[in-house]
Amino acid sequence: MQEIQERFVGLVREKIDNKNLKYNILTMGCQLNENDSEKISGMLEKMSFAETDNFEEADLIIFNTCCVRENAEEKLFGKIGEIKKLKEKKNVILAIGGCMMQEEIMLDKIKKSYPFVDIIFGTHTMQNLPENIYKAIIKQEKVRDILDIDGEIYEGIPIKRNSKFKASVTIMYGCNNFCSYCIVPYVRGRERSRSPKKILEEIKKLSADGYKEITLLGQNVNSYVGDEEIKNFADLLREVCKIDGIERVGFISPHPKDFTEDVIEEIKNNDKITRIIHLPIQSGNSKVLKEMNRKYTKEQYLELVEKMKKRIPNIVFSTDIIVGFPGETDEEFEDTLDVVRKVNFEQIFMFIYSKREGTVAEKREDQIPEEVKHTRFDKLKELYESRVDENNEKYIGTTQKRVLIEGESKNNQDTFSGRTNTNKVVIFEKTEKSKIGDVVDIKITEAHKWYLKGEII
């Protein structure tokens, strides 16, 4: 397979090498989607395209779509409209890929209403992009390359990273959980884990290239399945942390139902692992959780958090919450607020429930009116924001270990900006020895709403 990809990379490069062609890519989804975009960029640059952030200047435009919530559709149609106008003025290839193209209705709509789209590809066919670009540019064909069955794991795609020090590494694809509101299992297929060998090879290479921070990605990382030696997620974490040069290791997202003892033990024993755990709760009410098919109760979630707080000093949590799931009553929503008060999340990603075609929850007749969903959303946001100051003040006087220096701070060239291992932005004075990409310990001196201040110790 890889040879085929390389052959088409070569064929395209031969034709366009001295033409200075540019590409522009718009990533609309989650970190997995972003990681895919890094691979798309990697393939394009091998073919000799150069990146531009101005789409009007581009010869090839790629939309990497997401369909987890409905509002993405309007956004995509708006963007396609802009490119249609651009196409009237100049010769530009438009390729649309990603999760939304795996949805039959969306695929049909694009095919019928926007026939000028040059390439359509899905989540299982991204690796064919060089061949598809060859067909579109050289043969001027319209390409529709979608696979309904799960693709095999395709290793060896070149990758152009967005950062020099932080890298995301996908460890598994797909999802088997079928939460009743969620479309991801339908568009990403069943769970497939990458081989531990390939993952570790990739990270060793990253370390050799100067990368310091790794985020392991998957829809449910703690259901990772390895091989005889590195059997599960805990084993993988341990091996990743052993790699010299890698100073910080994070992962998103674990599922509360699969958060096993051995993973907790690994976090406890290994201070390379970030001290913020993203633990999506979705709702704080056990009845709603059951209807969401999440497979844990409010009490089980709180027990897990308490257990981790007791065993791992300074650990904090972030989460995802959906408000207005079908049938959710005001009292049930109060349970979500109760959990937010109890856990004291460092960060909350809040979403208004959005109906997704083909999911179980979509068929329910007890959908919540828009204004009720919005009122609940505002209440949750208010509660979260009311706690930010107090949470930040707790940092004053503490020493934050392994802060990665990410760059100069925007407003002051004498200071650096980095993130604590709980993902808080921290600003501190430069010292003679410190440089971008270093990992340092910082004593926190001030807390502001969206950042902390400190000094290198």
Contacts to ligand SF4 by CB under 6 A: 175, 177-179, 182, 184-185, 219-220, 255
One character per residue 311-330, x = contact with ligand F3S (rule: CB under 6 A): --------------------
Question: Quick check: 236 and 216 in contact, CB under 8 A?
Answer: yes
Please count the helices (runs of H) and the strands (runs of E) in the chain.
13, 19
Nearest to 220 by CA among 256, 186, 269, 245: 256
Q: Which does 67 bind (CB under 5 to 8 A by kind): ligand F3S, ligand SF4, ligand SAH, none?
A: ligand F3S
> Rule CB under 6 A: which of 186-225 touch ligand F3S?
187-188
Name the binder of 129 from ligand SF4, ligand F3S, ligand SAH, none, CB < 5-8 A by kind: none
One of 184, 203, 236, 289 touching ligand F3S (CB under 6 A):
184
CA-closest candidate to residue 35, choices 121, 188, 210, 160: 160
Distance of CA 126 to the CA centre of its chain: 17
Q: Output the smallest distance, CB 102 to ligand F3S, in A.
A: 9
The residue (of 196 and 256) whose beta carbon lies closer to ligand SF4 is 256
Shortest separation between residue 290's beta carbon and ligand SAH, angstroms: 16
* Minimal distance, residue 325 CB to ligand SAH, in Å: 8
Exposure class string for 287-326: b at 16+ Cβ within 10 A, else e: ebbebbebebebebbbebbeebeeebeebbbbbebbbbbb
> Which residues sit at the interface with ligand SAH, rule CB under 6 A?
68-69, 181-182, 184, 219-220, 253, 255, 280, 282, 320, 322, 351, 353-354, 356
Q: By C-beta, is 134 or 224 nearer to ligand SAH? A: 224
Q: In this complex, which beta carbon is closest to ligand F3S, that of residue 217 or of residue 246?
A: 217
169 in contact with ligand F3S (CB under 6 A): no
Full DSSP string of 204-270: HHHHHTT--EEEEE-TTGGG-B--SSS-BHHHHHHHHHHSTT--EEEEE---GGG--HHHHHHHHH-
CB of 178 to ligand SF4, least distance (A): 6
Residue 99 interface partner, choices ligand F3S, ligand SAH, ligand SF4, none, CB cut-off 5-8 Å depending on type: ligand F3S
Q: Which is nearer to ligand F3S, 70 or 393 (CB)?
A: 70
Tokens at 170, concatenated? 């996908």
List 322's β-bridge partners, or say none. Answer: 351
Binder of ligand F3S out of 67, 80, 120, 444 (CB under 6 A): 67
Strand partners, 50: 22
Min separation Cβ 308 and ligand F3S, Å: 25
The smaller minimum CB distance to ligand F3S, of residues 282 and 285, is found at 282
The sign of the torsion formed by the CA atoms of 214, 219, 223, 226 equals negative
Q: How many residues belong to the site for ligand F3S (CB under 6 A)?
A: 11
Segment 75 to 134, residues that bind ligand F3S, using CB under 6 A: 99
Residue 32, contacted partner among ligand SAH, ligand SF4, ligand F3S, none, CB below 5-8 A by kind: ligand F3S
How near is the Cβ of 334 to ligand SF4 at its closest, in Å? 23
Q: Which does 185 bind (CB under 5 to 8 A by kind): ligand SAH, ligand SF4, ligand F3S, none?
A: ligand SF4
Q: Closest by alpha carbon to 368, among 183, 187, 181, 185?
A: 181
- Rounded to whole angstroms, the Cα distance separating 89 from 67 reads 30
- By beta-carbon proximity to ligand F3S, the closer residue of 172 and 184 is 184
- Using the rule CB under 6 A, is 66 a contact of ligand F3S? yes
Handedness of CA 214, 220, 225, 230 (dihedral sign): positive
Nearest approach, Cβ of residue 110 and ligand F3S (Å): 16
Q: Nearest to ligand F3S by Cβ — which residue? A: 29
Which residue's CB is nearer to ligand SAH, number 95 or number 184?
A: 184
Give CA–CA dist 155/174, Å, rounded. 16
Which residue from 280, 396, 387, 296 is spatially nearest to 342, judged by alpha carbons?
Answer: 387
Burial class (CB in 10 A: 0-12, 13-18, 19+), 344: middle
Our CB check for ligand SAH shows the closer of 324 and 454 to be 324
Beta strands 412-419 and 276-278 are unpaired
Q: Closest separation between CB of residue 171 and ligand F3S, Å?
A: 14
Sign of CA dihedral 51, 56, 59, 64: positive
Question: 39 near 157, Cβ under 8 Å?
Answer: yes
In the complex, least distance from residue 294 CB atom to ligand F3S, rounded to whole angstroms: 17
Query: Is 292 in contact with 325 (CB distance < 8 Å)?
Result: yes
d(CA 454, CA 113): 55
Q: Would you give the DSSP letter of residue 365?
A: S
Of the candidate residues 5, 24, 33, 222, the single one contacting ligand F3S (CB under 6 A): 33
Q: Which residues contact ligand F3S (rule: CB under 6 A)?
A: 29-30, 32-33, 66-68, 99, 184, 187-188
